[in-house]
Amino acid sequence: MIVHDTDLEQRFALAKSLAEKAGALALDYFNKRDTLVIETKRDLQDVVSIADRNVETFLREQVAAAIPDDGFLGEEYGHQSGNSGYTWVVDPIDGTAPFVNGMPTWCVSIAVLRGGIPVIGVIQVPCANELYAAALGLGASLNAEMLSLDPSRTIQNAMTGIGCNTHVAPERVGSIITALLSTGGTFIRNGSGALMLAYVAAGRLVGYYEPHMRAWDCMAGYCLVKEAGGEYLPFSTEGEDLLKGQPVLASNVSAYSELLKIHYITAAIDPDGERADG
């Protein structure tokens, strides 16, 4: 007997539909990016455009119209609590720096939390026409093809994604790369943590690690990796923790222990995992 979780399935269908629409909207902005006004946030590498804000506004309005009792957390306009037990966690354009510089490695990231756990993860990659989608107990897919991680993939025979930003001391970033190379691994960074987490779920990367990320960057990817058969480092969503930067690590089960060791060893160089949480 199949028991359907209708609340989850309703939101999963909505998330996939909205991701495709938001992706099309973002792609239109991308194609006319030379006309966009670009602003900086906390430093010159942390940028935002009208595209980010308008895509998030679109998603907020659509979720509020469809399921008004759900909460919503977005990178640009913050947190609005709900009373349904579900919270949407959205990065309208993850990889804004690649976006404004004309590179295709950006995405729309949509997650839904239930009880603080990511139970839906959808990532739309407009420039590649790719839709990654996962929901609790329903598996993960890429353009409707189911994903399943290969246990023979390791740090030594595959690539690992590494993320960094100005919240993290440069010395720690260097130590992470050194530790990874010393184990026989290699790395890539494409400017979008959410997209690299999707790549982990698709088996393109064996793992992804970044010492400081926000919930809107990782929750969708976490759901994708878990449903594809991988593992991830818990991210606290209790109270104000949901709004704070935390370490993010997700990988094949076969690589998780080695990446976790790198996380703990290099944390000693920058104990707080960040220089300022702004």
DSSP assignment string, the chain: -PPP-HHHHHHHHHHHHHHHHHHHHHHHHHHTGGGS-EEESSSTT-EEEHHHHHHHHHHHHHHHHH-TTSEEEETTTEEE--SSSEEEEEEEEE-HHHHHTT-S--EEEEEEEETTEEEEEEEEEGGGTEEEEEETTTEEEETTEE----TT--TTTSEEEE---TTS-HHHHHHHHHHHHHTT-EEE--S-HHHHHHHHHHTSSSEEEEEEE-HHHHHHHHHHHHHHT-EE-----SGGGGGS-EEEEEE-HHHHHHHHHHHHHHHTTSTTS-S---
Residue pointed to by tokens 């690590």:
249
pLDDT digits (tens, 9 = 90+) for 15-51: 999 999 999 999 999 998 887 666 555 544 444 578 8
Tens-digit pLDDT string for the chain (278 aa): 455 789 999 999 999 999 999 999 999 999 988 876 665 555 444 445 788 889 999 999 999 999 999 999 998 889 999 999 999 999 999 998 899 899 999 999 999 999 999 999 999 999 999 999 999 999 999 999 999 999 999 999 999 999 988 888 899 999 999 999 999 999 999 999 999 999 999 999 999 999 999 999 999 999 999 999 999 999 999 999 999 999 999 999 999 999 999 999 998 876 555 443 44
At 234, the amino acid letter reads P
Single pTM value for the model = 0.93
Domains of the chain in sequence order: 6-146 (3.30.540.10), 159-267 (3.40.190.80)
